Structure 1
Amino acid sequence: MAPTPSPSPSPVLVQLVDPNTAPVWQAPLLTGVFVLGAAIIAVLSLWWSDHRKRKADDQRQWDEDLKKSYLALQSLTNSVRAALPAYGDGQGTQAAVLDTVATFTEGVREQVDLLDLTAPPAVASAATSLWQRHQVPNALNEIASAPVKERSERVLAARSHLDRLLAEVRGEVRVALRLKP
């Protein structure tokens, strides 16, 4: 009897069952995992970048508001400083100087209220000090009651007192703005 030939496997069947090849679903699965991972990294990166940008924009806006408040305080202080010599020389009318002082006091109070809400505590404290310790009405009384020879000294003393108080505010604003004092 002749030996029966053993059946030889078909090449298609060998390819389907070959243990050296990866499963068909493995490549799409790995691709999907890597794409999903890349998408998550991209979303987190964009979120972090947007968060930093928003924080920087907020800080920039707070800084601008702080600068505007300081400049308003400086303008108010300069108006009083300009009015004091006229009062000391007797050239300015008392009513005009008192109106300037009233505007100064009201304006400083408004800025102090604003800084209380928006500025760091040290800046708000320095601005409050300017408002509470400016003593312009007292200085006006001293100037008016002083002999004519001493009036210019009293005016200089009042102006220098205002300058010191404003310098305190300026120093605190510079620190809050992260500038050298």
Structure 2
Amino acid sequence: MTTLPPLSTINEAGSSSSPITVTLSLLLEPSSVLLHRVVPEVHKLLPDRAPFASYADLIDVTFQVIPTLDVKEKAEFIAGHPRIGETKNLSNLSAKEQGATQTTSSTPPEVLARLGHLNACYEKKYPGLRYITFVNGRSRAAIVEEMEDKLGFEHSLSPTDPPVESLDPVDVEGEDWMAELERAIVDVGKIAKSRLAGLGVE
């Protein structure tokens, strides 16, 4: 069972194993950027503010820090989340959200294959980004349609159409690319708040 450090301890500054680090790694997924850039900046804010009133308060403060990261760091931050449809090497919370804890028959193999293809297509179109979405209890089949709409594809279960190599990438740090990066960051915040609710805490 996944549990968070006691709320009273997250106000303590400390090392990479500090309660804030453990809490944010559970709620946001661990990454080098989270550990080495975000957590230290959150720790720096502690002397100038009242103790965190809730875990949600900690998330809100964290998402005041994230906009101060550079673009590359933001992209690395969202890449801490697994790809939609992945079934291996997931954290307990990601596995629960993606349905990997259900029986293997819960998601047809053709849906998983389509998700794998759509992830590859997305990452070709948006170099350096990973598709992140707030699943919010939806099925993987529903996410397939969402990704197809995002990419401008017709709905299909083809594992190969359209070919990845046929796609033209958008400009890195261009308007479309930046919009996707910022949308993904917002959804990571929604995922974190949803995880709190799922753990029965605020």
TM-score of the superposed pair, with normalisation by structure 2: 0.28
Structure possessing the higher relative contact order (Cα contacts under 8 Å, 6 or more residues apart): 2
Q: Which has the higher helix share?
A: 1
Mark the structure with the bigger radius of gyration. Answer: 1
TM-score of the superposed pair, with normalisation by structure 1: 0.30
